[in-house]
Amino acid sequence: MKYEYKYRNTAGDFFFFNMTNIYSQWTALVNIIFTAAMVVLIASRWSDSHIFFQGIMVVGLLLFPVIQPVCIYLKSSRQAESTSCDTELCFDEAGMHIRVQNHNQLIKWKDYKATVNRPFVLVPVPDGKHAYILTERILKGQHRDLYEFINGASSRN
């Protein structure tokens, strides 16, 4: 079996990866609890608080559902702008083939490190230094098939 992808990550890809990364950890629980606490605080103290404190409460309420995603999108836009060329990935029985501009590399399955599998995002990590973000836009419905292929191929070697 052979899976080939030629792509360039967009700001949306980086944003989606970063948000799924945040909301698949304990930080998601902290974000939700903090936001819920701000709703309770605003509901209980809005009428008897000074305008300055009301402003702080509104900023606190907007911190995780609005401000954090906007900051992450701005960071994602900078990441996408720094990506100046397409990446070509090929997964076959020999291993993971990587081509970026004139650089070609083969990572054999016996040397392959890990694959991060998140809903709608697959992140092959061929070595300890590099990772490649593959969203559903890139995978076009092959998420599960590619993940199973990588796990099967890397466990055989």
Domain annotation for the chain: domains and CATH numbers: 3-8+84-156 (2.30.29), 11-82 (no CATH)
**Residue 7, H or E segment:** strand 3-7
**Residue 79, H or E segment:** helix 68-82
Q: Using an 8 Å Cβ cutoff, are 41 and 57 in contact?
A: yes
Tens of pLDDT, residues 74-105: 999 999 999 889 999 999 999 999 999 999 99
pLDDT beneath 70: ranges in the chain: 157
DSSP type of residue 10: -
At residue 38, the pLDDT reads 98
At residue 157, the pLDDT reads 66
At residue 44, the pLDDT reads 97
Rounded distance, CA 117 to CA 54, Å? Answer: 41
At residue 1, the pLDDT reads 83
Q: Using an 8 Å Cβ cutoff, are 5 and 73 in contact?
A: no
**Which tokens go with 88?**
């070509």
